[in-house]
Structure 1
Amino acid sequence: MKAGSLRVRLLLGAAVAVFLALAAAWLAMTLLFERHLEHRAEADLIRDGTQLAASIAVNKDGVPTLRREPDDARFAEPASGLYWQVSTQRGSLQSRSLWDESLPASAVAKAGDWSTRFVPGPFEKELLLVERIVRPERGGLDVLLQVGLENASLHRARDEFGDELALFLALLWLILSAAAWAQVELGLRPLSAVRNEVEALKRNPRERLSTTHAKEIEPLTRAINELADARERDLARARRRAADLAHALKTPLAALAAQSRRARTTGAAEAADGLDRAIAAANAAVDGELARSRAAAIRAAPTVSTSVALPLIDSIVGVVERTESGALLVFDVNVPDALTIPVAAEDLLELMGALIENAARYARRRVQINGSASLQQSELSVEDDGPGIDAELIAQAIARGGRLDEIGSGHGLGLAIASDLAEATRGRLALTRSALGGLKVSIAWPLAAADGATAI
């Protein structure tokens, strides 16, 4: 499974955790508020009931009477939601708010204390009912005293409180999420510094991560530095071995070339031809390995210098014109005198040498070398009027060790070598069809490469 952003996961986790905590707080606070309302309502009902108890009397028929009714106007308003009722076995008396309804009988009321319960009430509403048995006169009849309040009013108050609390907690969630974002940003800032240092390490293998980071990140930076040290040692060892092997093969190959010439002078032309092809293939492999070692050395260089392109290209053309294939060609050099390339002179010499030699090998009559510069980049191109390369073979042409000329005297590594050197110098190599009919190889270097940046 593809790993996502650590920042997004931390922020999402914090937002969800805060949301769940606030949701639980909303539920708990709403329930507590409802309980508080019920206790307050119960206390108010008991107060009204106490006033009623002080005013109750029982007549000679055993019917309860009141000397004074409670003052709350809701007791006089029909279906107001607040009710009282006093009753004996012989009759009852109730508030006008009950109208023609009555409160339910009780089997749990006690004489010593108030009882509280929720019951179905008049007008199909649930009631919070407090009740108690009182005896107005010593030795007289027991009187059941009941005072009730519709529970709907408590629910409305709870819902209104819940709505207002939800708005407040939503605002609090936004504030806490912003605080979590600030915390995540501050917490990940050291990792951003590590990322920048890793980018510098990618550009220059000799760079190392600093050891001044937070102690939680220090094991990571130490491990990266140790890995970079081991990688640099392994690469250096591999480059030395490859270069040593390539140089070691030069002498045996020269000896074989001498043997081939002697065989040809003795009349064994066919054997000499086969030997020459084998020597050419071996030389190509050696040259390619040396070029790759050179590209690796360029990548490891701490800085990039600049070179004036025209003198170097003229020197390469002068050498190629003296070869057997180059002597038959016309070289057209269109490079400005002041054009500079962000590549060291010896590296540019090797890179352009590989391209110009490759073009001369396949050109029929003409090789053209162009140079230009803009605000963003410097560019050099080499094109010829040869057969060119089919579009589907371009990727193979610049692959390491790729061969496009199994038939012929070329070794097919010129473009692969140029691709390695271009990449090492931060250039972008492109292969297209030339206006001359053959292949056009362009390399563009961003001007940022000339400002002292290290090679990748």
Structure 2
Amino acid sequence: MITRSLRWRLLLGGGIAMLAAVLVAWLFMTVLFQRHLERRLTLELSRDATRLTAGLTQNADASLALDAELTDPRLSIPAGGLYWQASTPATALRSRSLWDQTLPVPASVPADRWVLKQIAGPFDKPIVVLQRSIRLNPNGPPVVVQIAEDADDIASAQSEFGRDLAMFLGGLWLFLAAASVTQVHLGLSPLRRIREDLAALRPSASARLAKPWLEEVQPLAETINALLSASEDELSQARGRAADLAHGLKTPLSALQAQSRRLRETGDSRIADRLDRAIASATATVERELARSRVAAVRRGTSAVREGVEDVLGVIEQTTHGERIAFTNDVPEGFNAPMEQDDLAELLGPLLENAARFARRQVLVRAGRTGSSLWVAIEDDGPGIAAEHEAEAVLRGARLDESGQGHGLGLAIARDLVTASGGTLTLTRSTLGGLRAEVGWTADLVAPAVTDPERPGSQPSLRA
């Protein structure tokens, strides 16, 4: 999951890079601090070594003498931590702090400069020694002057510095990690806003992304808008092709039906029956293909259900079945469905037509909200459907009334349209005694709020 997240990749990459930088900084800063200590120690020891050298004298027998002792109290305490020694191949002069120990003298000591080295010293302790070969008497042997200090103090200072530096750099890494989290959050916020804007586009197929103010995000938004425009054009073309097909086949089928009537009037009923069956088969095929085109072109939008019901009823009331039915539009004002207005009409059409065909005197259209679900119900007072046939009624081509006309596509088309919009269609027994066809959606598919039918907000529209 982490490898598939751009946020976690950026955070992990930044955190690892900063940790590596902090570790490298700790390593180099400890090395630099060590060199700084060595330079400071060299400076301090060289001052003492210069005073020590100034007080040394070499007698004619090559013995050494010191005119004035150094004042550091550590030199007078055995194993005091500070030591000096002046030696020739024949004799040596050393500080009281060495007691019965001696400083090791290397075979070769430079005469032109002071040299600082860390060696094993007296009392089984490592020491840092500054040494140089000096000729006090032109006729005498060279004198190796050494002044040393215990290395434990230097190691302790280095350890404390490294520990304190590690704590500081650790805190710095945490601060930089928090800054990195903030930076990644701010850097990805335009993508998050685009995702939210895309989610807001679902209710309307014609909506587009606003132009981002960041130059890096603008090409992405423009590409998405171009894809949305292309998709909308394809949907419009599909609707147009379906309408053209319907109009193109309507006239030939009507002509064939007229020929069938003439054959029946002349007494040739057998040929007329065959022709009617062929016409019915062609009509069913056309309706199936038109239904598929309508379902494929369903767009997620928002439309007013009450107005959609009024429009469909205005057509059905002109039909043979509709003119004898009393329709009641009890949909609240402001109740919206997650479909475009044309798709909603395609959905309501077969449901209201089916209710008008089988109703005795009354058809009721209601809508409301139950919990997180929206529903639109069409009820009639007709014979209804037996419970064992309710699931079968919405299958494509299913006809529970074989005596009537049609091809069993109405409820199946309505079911496909509802499914394409993210809803469900269920058939149950109506309180009026007939069939109740209920369409349901989740409330999050519709942005505007809806009004419950039990609450005041609109009066039922009664149509006789």
Q: TM-score, normalised by structure 2?
A: 0.74
> What is residue 288 of structure 2 aligned with on the other side?
285
The alignment status of 1:385 with 2:356, answered yes or no, reads: no
Shift of 1:137: 3.2
> What is residue 307 of structure 1 aligned with on the other side?
306
- Report if aligned partners of 2:18, 2:176 keep a CA contact under 8 Å in 1: yes
- Give 3-state SS (helix, strand or coil) of 2:128's partner: strand
- Supply the distance in 1 between the matched residues of 2:236 and 2:343 (Cα, whole angstroms): 19
- Give 3-state SS (helix, strand or coil) of 1:141's partner: coil
> What is residue 428 of structure 1 aligned with on the other side?
423
> What is residue 210 of structure 1 aligned with on the other side?
210
The code of the aligned residue for 1:83 comes to Y
> What is residue 278 of structure 2 aligned with on the other side?
275
- Supply the distance in 1 between the matched residues of 2:216 and 2:444 (Cα, whole angstroms): 39
1:446 to 436, 443, 446: 443
Matches within 5 A, 1:73-88: 73-88=73-88
Matches within 5 A, 1:70-219: 70-211=70-211, 213-219=213-219
Gaps in structure 2 of 5+ consecutive residues? 379-383, 451-464
Shift of 1:193: 4.0
Distance 1:231 1:414, change over 3 A: same
The code of the aligned residue for 1:451 comes to P
The code of the aligned residue for 1:373 comes to R
> What is residue 342 of structure 1 aligned with on the other side?
336
- Supply the distance in 2 between the matched residues of 1:349 and 1:178 (Cα, whole angstroms): 54
User: How many aligned residue pairs are there?
Assistant: 432
Matches within 5 A, 1:295-334: 296=298, 299=300, 304-307=303-306, 322=321
- Report if aligned partners of 2:88, 2:143 keep a CA contact under 8 Å in 1: yes
Shift of 1:186: 3.7
- Report if aligned partners of 1:309, 1:335 keep a CA contact under 8 Å in 2: no
Distance 1:81 1:447, change over 3 A: closer
- Report if aligned partners of 2:85, 2:95 keep a CA contact under 8 Å in 1: yes
Which whole-Å deviations, capped at 9, do the CAs of 1:67-95 have from their partners, x for residues lacking one?
Answer: 33322222333334432222122222333
> What is residue 230 of structure 1 aligned with on the other side?
230
The alignment status of 1:418 with 2:414, answered yes or no, reads: yes
Shift of 1:41: 1.2
Instruction: Report % sequence identity.
Output: 36
Which whole-Å deviations, capped at 9, do the CAs of 1:226-273 have from their partners, x for residues lacking one?
Answer: 333333333322321232123312233334445566677634377457
- Supply the distance in 1 between the matched residues of 2:367 and 2:37 (Cα, whole angstroms): 87
Q: Comparing 121-130 with 372-381, which one deviates more in the overlay?
A: 372-381
Distance 1:432 1:72, change over 3 A: farther
The code of the aligned residue for 1:422 comes to V
- Supply the distance in 2 between the matched residues of 1:322 and 1:362 (Cα, whole angstroms): 8
Which whole-Å deviations, capped at 9, do the CAs of 1:324-370 have from their partners, x for residues lacking one?
Answer: xxx9xxx9x9985757641488755542443466789999xxx9987
- Supply the distance in 1 between the matched residues of 2:401 and 2:277 (Cα, whole angstroms): 13
Gaps in structure 1 of 5+ consecutive residues? none
> What is residue 51 of structure 2 aligned with on the other side?
51
- Give 3-state SS (helix, strand or coil) of 1:25's partner: helix
- Supply the distance in 2 between the matched residues of 1:290 and 1:110 (Cα, whole angstroms): 100
- Supply the distance in 1 between the matched residues of 2:213 and 2:172 (Cα, whole angstroms): 34
Distance 1:125 1:274, change over 3 A: farther
The alignment status of 1:266 with 2:268, answered yes or no, reads: yes
- Give 3-state SS (helix, strand or coil) of 1:307's partner: helix
- Supply the distance in 1 between the matched residues of 2:82 and 2:279 (Cα, whole angstroms): 117
- Supply the distance in 1 between the matched residues of 2:119 and 2:2 (Cα, whole angstroms): 59
Distance 1:445 1:85, change over 3 A: closer
- Give 3-state SS (helix, strand or coil) of 2:111's partner: coil
Distance 1:442 1:320, change over 3 A: farther
Distance 1:101 1:415, change over 3 A: farther
Please, what is the CA RMSD of the aligned residues? Answer: 4.6
Distance 1:29 1:193, change over 3 A: same
- Report if aligned partners of 1:432, 1:441 keep a CA contact under 8 Å in 2: yes
Shift of 1:286: 4.3
Shift of 1:33: 0.6
- Give 3-state SS (helix, strand or coil) of 1:203's partner: coil
Q: Comparing 14-23 with 1-10, which one deviates more in the overlay?
A: 1-10
> What is residue 13 of structure 2 aligned with on the other side?
13
The code of the aligned residue for 1:387 comes to E
> What is residue 221 of structure 2 aligned with on the other side?
221
Shift of 1:447: 8.2
